[in-house]
Structure 1
Amino acid sequence: MFISLRVLFLLLFLVSSCLFVYTCQKTPKVVRLTSIGDNGEAYFSPDGKRLIYQSKKRPEHYNSQIYIYDFETKREKRLNFNNGDDTCSYFSPDMKWIIYASTFDEIRESAKFKRYIPAERKKEEEKKQRGHKWEFLPYEIYSADINGKNIRRLTHSIGYDAEGTISPDGKKIIFTSDRDGDLELYTMNADGSNQKRLTFRKGYDGGAFYSPDGKKIVWRAFSPEGDTAQIMMADADGTNIVQLTNDKAINWCPFFHPDGKRIIYASNRDDPHNFELYLIDIESRHIQRLTYSEGADILPVFSPDGKKIVFTSNREGGRCHLYMMDFSP
């Protein structure tokens, strides 16, 4: 019996070693796209030729501003030049306009938001060492032309309105707001009219995206305590909610594959101290791990043709940057 156990353990070791080597061989090459500042939350243009994202802590500006990266020229262009923090940018399907969230108006309109002026925030953050707590800045959602001009404010509620994305037909925007006391999902028309609440559960519901056909939405829902988060899916109007993940991890930033059958997301399911990228099959619920990095890999998105994945990571230490890798079904 002792010999059998030794043989069994040896076989298990060899099998696990082979699996490890196989995984490493199958891990796609990762290319870093950005080099300056702290960058994140990138989304492809509908034609797959550009990315829109936010960047901060650069020599020319400390606050977060919106940039566009061109794959052909490998150059980036700054769109926003204001004294606020801008985030959550997204292309319209016809590529004629964009949306993003900004603190620019609210920090000017209310004295209670003075501490969110970029210069004041920089002073605060420089004093803090560890244990920095994420703050939900007083964002509002805006639309603008593709060149950042003709800015139009779409929301007017005090507090947090952000995380907006656009439906495939360009008629709807889904976003997150704390206007009713809890972080919930809302929709509105592209011009800001007909704002309607979709979720009504306690806990942070956010980061929603439409499916490629516009019939479904996917988002992450934190528990009321905030210690776990699950990937949720529903019809576009918020009905027929389905929970796709069910574990004690933080599963977040989901995004549909162009085939509408799979969802990529980030999770700490294998290591509570680190996030990696995973793919879940909606029908079978089979989960596949995609990245193996010591740094956090988060906020993944597929290219329109489904062949590339762009994500945010601090895998090289220090600040976050944008990375891209191939994806094979």
Structure 2
Amino acid sequence: MKFKYMKHVKILLILTFLSVFITYCQNSEIPKSASYAIAYNSKETGHVEIYLRDIEGKSSIKSTNENGGYLAWSPDGKHFAFYHKYDEKKTWSIHTMNSDGTDRKRLTHAKNKWDNSPAWSPDGKKIVFSRAYKDSDNNWQKELWIMNSDGSELSQIKSLKGGGPYFTPDGRIVFHSENKKSWISIADIDGNNLIRLTHNEAEEQHPEVSPDGKQIAFMSYRDGNHEIYVMNIDGSNQKRLTNNDFDDWYPSWSPDGSQLIFSSLRDGEKGIYIMDKDGSSVKKIIANATSPAWLKIANGHLTK
């Protein structure tokens, strides 16, 4: 009898332990693997279309079959902003859509204006973009505009001229100022406290701020062709990262700030490359593609 009693107690203890263990596993935060998704433009079908891909090339998804360019992820990764061309390419308009290509919305409608280079505010509530057009004297005007992410409350940031805006984590805007030549500047969202960060005669464009807000990657023509550079947020410590005879464009930071992806013509065709933030370990990851934008995706994979 004693033996049977001890056996029953042992079984009960084992079942209790298993129950507690299973409950613990279900309630505990178990780390999940993570991958990184890249959105980019490609002419694989003969038209400019938007695709998603991981950096290993294991997964590729066509997000839309509509022409679209210059992608920007929303902070939550659920939406894109991009521009689309109308009126035989005379009108460019800002759009948003879900990252799976659904719920496409046209947000701007200014005829014969080139609305481009959208960027989301850190809280996802605002979109800033560039507007370019020729005035009545046939001179190019390049302006910065801001609106709610649904297209409402559209207004010009009147004191700022240029393009390629990008938000810092604290809500300021970096962009390329423009007056015949372009240089990188930073300002408050209302256009106040404007500071010029680069001081070269060459064109310098497409600034993107690192996730920690401490550095800016950008492209510069100061060496006779477009190369990728990086500098501190105050413009100090400018460093050239790429060095070849072909153009390198559109740098985009990895979510942890350790790497950059960018477009290049170094293989004779537009492709997307990856490198460490010091310019080392360069390799091609996507062929026939340009304008990459990088976002971290949860659960280790891309989903449609």
Q: TM-score, normalised by structure 1?
A: 0.69
Distance 1:304 1:281, change over 3 A: same
Whose Rg is larger? Answer: 2
Q: Which string of whole-angstrom CA distances, capped at 9 and with x for unpartnered residues, describes residues 270-305 of structure 1?
A: 22xx11100001247111210133xxx111011144
Q: Which amino acid counterpart does residue 276 of structure 1 have in structure 2?
A: G
Q: Following the alignment from structure 1 to structure 2, what is the Cα–Cα distance between the partners of residues 72 and 34?
A: 7
Within-5 A mapping of 1:198-237: 198-223=197-222, 225=224, 228-237=225-234
Offset of residue 35 of structure 1: 2.1
**What SS is found at the alignment partner of 2:246?**
coil
Q: Deviations over 1:7-63 (max 9, x none)?
A: xxxxxxxxxxxxxxxxxxx63343222223x3100111000000000001379x851
Match of 2:265 in 1: 268
Q: Does the 8 A contact of 1:46 with 1:304 survive in 2?
A: no
| 5+ long unaligned stretches in structure 1 | 1-25, 115-136, 309-324
Structure 1 residues 245 and 224, CA, compared in 2 at 3 Å: closer, same or farther?
Answer: closer
Q: Does 1:65 align with 2:93?
A: yes
- Shift of the 306–213 alpha-carbon distance from structure 1 to 2, 3 Å rule, reads farther
Contact 1:90 1:164 in 2 (8 A): yes
The alpha carbon displacement at 1:248 in A equals 1.3
Map of 1:32 onto structure 2: 62
Give me the whole-angstrom Cα distance separating, in 2, the residues matched to 1:235 and 1:148: 32
Contact 1:258–1:306 (CA under 8 A) maintained in structure 2 = no
CA distance in 2, matches of 1:55, 1:284: 33
RMSD: 2.5
CA contact (8 A) 1:44 1:304 kept: no
> 1:199 offset after TM fit, Å?
0.6
**Which residue does 1:149 correspond to in 2?**
152
Tell me which amino acid in the other structure corresponds to 1:66: I
1:93 aligns with 2:122: yes
Match of 1:258 in 2: 255
Residue in 2 aligned with 1:54? 83
- Number of matched residues? 246
Q: Cα–Cα, structure 1 residues 73 and 209, in superposed 2: closer, same or farther, change >3 Å?
A: closer
1:113-148 Cα offsets, whole Å, 9 max, x none, are: 38xxxxxxxxxxxxxxxxxxxxxx522001111211
Q: Cα deviation per residue 1:145-183 (whole Å; 9 max; x = unaligned)? A: 1211112211446xx61111101221x10111223x421
- Residue 252 of structure 1, CA deviation: 0.9
Counterpart in the other structure of 2:292: 300
Query: Over residues 199-234 of structure 1, what are the superposed CA-to-partner deviations in whole Å (9 max), with x where a residue is unaligned?
Result: 112211110000000000000111364xx2211001
Q: Distance in 2 between matches of 1:193 and 1:82?
A: 26
8 A Cα contact 1:204 1:224, kept in partner: no
- The CA deviation at 1:239 is 0.5
* 1:236-288 deviation per Cα after TM superposition (whole angstroms, max 9, x unaligned): 011011111111121110010001010000111122xx111000012471112
- Secondary structure in 2 matching 1:303: strand
State the distance in 2 between where 1:154 and 1:140 align.
8
- Is 1:81 equivalent to 2:109 in the alignment? yes
Structure (1 or 2) with the greater helix fraction: 1
Cα distance change of structure 1 residues 208 and 270 upon mapping to structure 2, 3 Å threshold: same
2 CA distance for matches of 1:174 and 1:270?
A: 31
Contact 2:90 2:114 in 1 (8 A): no
**Structure 1 residue 92 displacement after superposition:** 0.5
Report what 2:18 is aligned to: none
Q: Is the contact made by 1:56 and 1:63 (CA closer than 8 Å) also made in structure 2? A: yes
